[in-house]
Amino acid sequence: MKILSILFSGAALAFTLSASNPVYAEECPRGDLDARFCDADGDLLADTPTDPAELIDPDTLIFAYTPVEDPAVYKEAWADFLTHLENETGKSVVFFPVQNNAAQIEAMRSGRLHIAGFNTGSNPLAVNCAGFNPFTIMAAPDGSFGYEMEIITYPGSGVEAVEDIKGKQLAFTSPTSNSGFKAPSAILKADYDMIPERDFEPVYSGKHDNSILGVANKDYLAASIANSVKARMISRDVVKEEDLKVLYKSQTFPTTGYGVVYNLKPELKEKIRNAFFNFEWDGTSLQEEFEKNGEGQFLEITYKEYWEVIRKIDAANGVSYACE
């Protein structure tokens, strides 16, 4: 077994992950990647293995979307796309509901997950420790994309500004989440001189849905969340907009990154890429769910460019990733 440690300014959170591949015996460029991987082309992603024996071509492809409160909703939302993916690859595709970010990363690292959408903050961890190769995000038909981190409370909470959270409780989602932990931690420290434990009590809900529902139901005084999740929940009448009050709204961040595990056969990788980019959204279950955020296409991206701001936030938080 291997232990994956996410280090936040000296505080370590450990997730146990199983490793299926041996460490490379030879030296190769890898930057921050785990010792199992190489990055000869400098794109910050694990290269496709050159040894054919290390490539995989599974009969059934496993797909997982980032953890959500109600996986059944998203299994249905992705149904038409996964049928399209089956047609493009000639393989069976199974939707794998994951309960948390660590479980999703573990699944890919151990060879049980082939295609995935990892949330914004988990992308660097999935890339460096699980061999995730992201290549697309959802975008609006005009090419615009992204979401904002919001710190929210409920009307009548007595919290009128971010500073009012001092001495009180703030709900995060999980340490790997950008808008649920990393971005607010960096912003609170830099702009408000507020640090968890010292200035307020941090609690962890596990998911954005939980945090949003928790605030709406007055279980949490305040929470940091992704407003794209909030918009979808409002559109489904899970919560009401008037039950939530926005205290802070950040700059725009990239959304969930979609991609594949590094060691799929190149021809299979290409079929999967094509399935994302030639998917016709109109009238599909995917459009029905994600047009609530204004999204209507898959936009080609590079991790090196589009996740630069997220890596900077990690650096500001003193985050380093050790795949031991």
User: What's the CATH number where 73 sits?
Assistant: 3.40.190.10
Enclosing domain of residue 220 = 148-253
Q: What is the pLDDT of residue 315?
A: 85
Quick one: which of 272, 275, 323, 267 has its CA closest to 55? 267
Residues 304 and 245 in one domain: no
Q: What is the pLDDT of residue 182?
A: 92
The full 3-state SS of 236-260, as one line of letters, equals CCCCCHHHCEEEEEEEEECCCEEEE
Whether residue 21 sits in one domain with residue 137: yes
The residue length of the chain stands at 324
pLDDT at 322: 66
**In this predicted structure, what is the pLDDT of residue 24?**
45
Domain edge (last residue) among 253, 288, 315 = 253
Same domain? For 80 and 192 the reply is no
253, 281, 312: which is the final residue of a domain?
A: 253
Integer CA distances (angstroms), 196 to 38, 162, 165, 185, 222, in order: 36, 13, 11, 8, 13
Residue 241 has what pLDDT?
Answer: 96
Pair (121, 263) in one structural domain: yes
Same domain for 128 and 198? no
Q: Which parts of the chain sit beneath pLDDT 50?
A: 1-25
Boundary residue ending a domain (238, 253, 268): 253
32 and 67 in a single domain? The answer is yes
Same domain (yes/no): 266, 126: yes
Q: Quick one: 294 and 310 in the same domain?
A: yes
Same domain flag for 246 and 126: no
Residues 61, 188: one domain?
no
Are both 152 and 172 inside the same structural domain? yes
Predicted pLDDT of residue 2: 34
Say what the pLDDT of residue 23 is. Answer: 46
Say how many domains are in the chain: 2
Among candidates 303, 304, 305, 288, which has minimal Cα distance to 81? Answer: 288
3-class SS of residue 4: strand
What is the pLDDT, as a whole number, of residue 324? 60
| Global confidence as pTM | 0.78
Same domain for 223 and 163:
yes
Beta bridge partners of 64: 116
pLDDT given at position 316: 83
